[in-house]
């Protein structure tokens, strides 16, 4: 006998759509299930100004399948030279929903990112004053810091001092990967939330390295030890409204993933809802799935939940997802959780 759950249509609070032909190929994979998504601005060149955001949004809407009501929520890429007036105007007009801070060199296309938090304090002060949220890729990039410690060091040396200096700034610590980060968010009294990805709920660093290097599990921030994964699962399934879904679904073609210097990113848009239902059921928390995927994010961003509903059905036979999706640039491998999935969206 099948099992059915119905939830408010979910949103993705951290999504990479890329541009041009890749955008056209991957956008339907998100729009099929999600009502809205926070769109990452790390294009080449990045989405730095209000005009950039308007142009990118137009390209997304042009690529959207006819009749689909998916809504892209745009962000600006914070640089050392970002203009606070431009940010404030874009936010006041409703053109952007947030601003994204990439430490320079932290991840894909982040070379234009912030070199020192001191350089962008005037912009952050303006954002705090107008209520514009700041999405943060929370890692330091110093060569002397081990890659598995970069998130924890960032909390101590950048995030915590920033929150003390600007307590009214609304911050989202994106794609957290450690127990340290989960505990830090839980200890916050206000103005701090975190997104958690689908894949970080399922894989640890062994999945990347044991039995040979698995490039399609390589992402940044990199997956950590098992006790960190367990802590993320507990946070996501806890019902705590400060945690919500941000898939960080990040498409790269297979040749770019499987090269001598493979790109960081996991593409999970296609099967995220099936993966999440599996995880939440496994942890006895199916009743918390709607909060994590559909309610907590809008509440933190000051938006209403989607009106539409989404139904998931569990059957006795596994869902058959494609191994990859085809793009004009080449195939993009879909995230493999390593086990069969029995929940499907209907």
| Catalytic residue from among 248, 254, 283, 287 | 248
**What range defines the domain where residue 251 resides?**
3-345
Model pLDDT, residue 229: 98
Q: How far apart are CA 78 and CA 223, in angstroms?
A: 25
**pLDDT band per the 50, 70, 90 thresholds, residue 110:** confident
Active-site annotation holds for 248 = yes
Model pLDDT, residue 2: 66
Q: How far apart are CA 284 and CA 144, in angstroms?
A: 41
Write the CATH number for 156: 3.20.20.140
Q: Nearest to residue 34, comparing CAs of 270, 258, 239?
A: 270
**pLDDT band per the 50, 70, 90 thresholds, residue 29:** very high
Element (H, E) at 22: helix 20-31
Q: Is the pLDDT of residue 141 over 70?
A: yes
Segment 221-231, tens digit of pLDDT: 999 999 999 99
Q: Is the pLDDT of residue 203 over 70?
A: yes
For the full predicted model, state whether its pTM sits above 0.85.
Answer: yes
Model pLDDT, residue 227: 98
Q: How would you class 46 by CB atoms within 10 Å of its CB: exposed for 0-12, middle for 13-18, buried for 19 or more?
A: buried
Order of strands, sheet of 3-8, starting from the edge strand that comes earlier in the sequence: 3-8, 309-314, 343-345
Q: Is the pLDDT of residue 233 over 70?
A: yes
Segment 305-325, tens digit of pLDDT: 999 999 999 999 999 999 999
Tally of structural domains, the chain: 1
């Amino acid at each position: 006998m099948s099992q059915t759950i119905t939830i408010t249509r979910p949103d993705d609070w951290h999504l990479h759509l890329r541009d041009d032909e890749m955008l056209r190929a991957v956008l339907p994979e998100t729009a099929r299930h999600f009502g809205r998504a926070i769109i990452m601005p790390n294009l080449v060149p990045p989405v730095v100004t209000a005009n950039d955001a308007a142009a990118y949004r137009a390209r997304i809407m042009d690529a959207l399948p006819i009749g689909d009501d998916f809504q892209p929520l745009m962000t600006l890429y914070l640089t050392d030279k970002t203009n606070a007036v431009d940010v404030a105007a874009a936010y006041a007009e409703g053109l952007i929903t947030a601003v994204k801070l990439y430490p320079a060199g932290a991840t894909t296309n982040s070379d234009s990112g912030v070199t020192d938090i001191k350089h962008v304090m005037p912009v952050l002060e303006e954002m705090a004053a107008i209520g514009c949220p700041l999405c943060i890729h929370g890692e330091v990039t110093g060569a002397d810091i081990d890659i598995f410690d970069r998130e924890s060091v960032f909390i101590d040396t950048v995030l915590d001092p920033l929150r003390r200096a600007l307590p009214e700034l609304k911050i989202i610590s994106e794609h957290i990967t450690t127990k340290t980060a989960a505990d830090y968010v839980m200890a916050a009294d206000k103005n701090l939330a975190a997104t958690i990805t689908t894949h970080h709920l399922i894989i640890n660093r062994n999945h990347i390295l044991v039995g040979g290097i698995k490039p399609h599990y390589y992402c940044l921030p990199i997956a950590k030890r098992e006790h960190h994964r367990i802590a993320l699962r507990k946070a996501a399934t806890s019902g705590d409204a400060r945690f919500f879904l941000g898939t960080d679904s990040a498409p790269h073609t297979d040749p770019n993933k499987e090269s001598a210097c493979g790109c960081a990113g996991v593409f999970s848009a296609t099967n995220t809802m099936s993966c999440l239902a599996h995880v939440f059921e496994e942890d006895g928390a199916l009743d918390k799935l709607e909060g994590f995927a559909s309610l907590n994010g809008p509440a933190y961003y000051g938006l209403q939940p989607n009106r539409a509903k989404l139904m998931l059905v569990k059957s006795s036979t596994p869902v058959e997802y494609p191994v990859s999706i085809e793009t004009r640039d080449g195939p993009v491998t879909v995230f493999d959780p390593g086990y069969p999935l029995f929940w499907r969206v209907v």
